[in-house]
Amino acid sequence: MSLIDVLVGAVAGGCIGVAGGVVAVKYEWSKQIDLVCMKEVYEPLHSKIIDYLYFVKKFVLYAPLMDVETFVSKIEDSYWYSRVNKKVAEKFREWQSRVSEYNVIVKDMRVKIEKAIDHEIETRATAFESSTDKNHLVSEFKRITTDGFLSSGATGSYLLTQGKANDEEYYFISNFKNGGTPSEREIRAKLANGFPMAIYEKIRKDPLFTELHNKIKEVEDTTSQLRGVLEKRIMK
């Protein structure tokens, strides 16, 4: 039988109320419950919030959203969550709230970037007469820019949100411009030259852009607060 099974049985059965040693036994069980809470809640939660903040700051518009939602549900559904320290529970709720708000902004911002990409490519494509080469290159450019800015783990969105918009800072832009046959180079250049700057200029004027940065700071602050109270419990 596991320690968890023993503790649950003891709590449910009222074993801690044995006459002659009530205070001592209650204290010992309290210590044991804290130990299990540390292993079942505090330590995994501590690890998860640090990992999540890394993704938020590194990739900005990409984070393992569903993974976090599943993890949060698992923590809250745990028998031991009802027994965690009240300060931990309070800071955990605050962290969840900021993360939830951040996720909403991220989804909206990704839609705006995708629309900006489509609009800019469409505008640039109209400068060329329709041809097999042109249609093929436009399709290729749309695919690599969408992947480069918005795919899982892509760095393009991070660079945009940092205001970095030189072509050379985006490997997929440079690769596209320098690839293909000599006869394609003119089309490639006109599609790709200054593309990151054009997208940045579109999104930076949107109020959501400022809101995104503010929310990242809030997520960072609540993560720091939750991490602090968790580490106090873990190191007790």
**pLDDT tens track for 150-179:** 887 778 888 998 899 999 999 999 999 998
Q: Which residue has the tokens 């494509």?
A: 125
Residue 12, pLDDT above cutoff 60: no
- Residue 119's pLDDT is 96
Q: What is the mean pLDDT of the chain?
A: 84
- What average pLDDT does the segment 74-97 reach? 90
- What average pLDDT does the segment 85-110 reach? 92
- What average pLDDT does the segment 2-17 reach? 47
- What average pLDDT does the segment 215-220 reach? 95
- Residue 35's pLDDT is 79
How many angstroms separate the CA atoms of 73 and 179, rounded? 47
Question: Residues 6 or more apart from 131 whose CB is under 8 A from it?
Answer: none
Longest dimension (CA), the chain: 94
State both tokens at 165.
């918009």
**pLDDT tens track for 111-130:** 999 999 999 999 999 988 88
Please indicate whether residue 29 or residue 88 has the higher confidence score (pLDDT): 88
Residue 22, pLDDT above cutoff 90: no
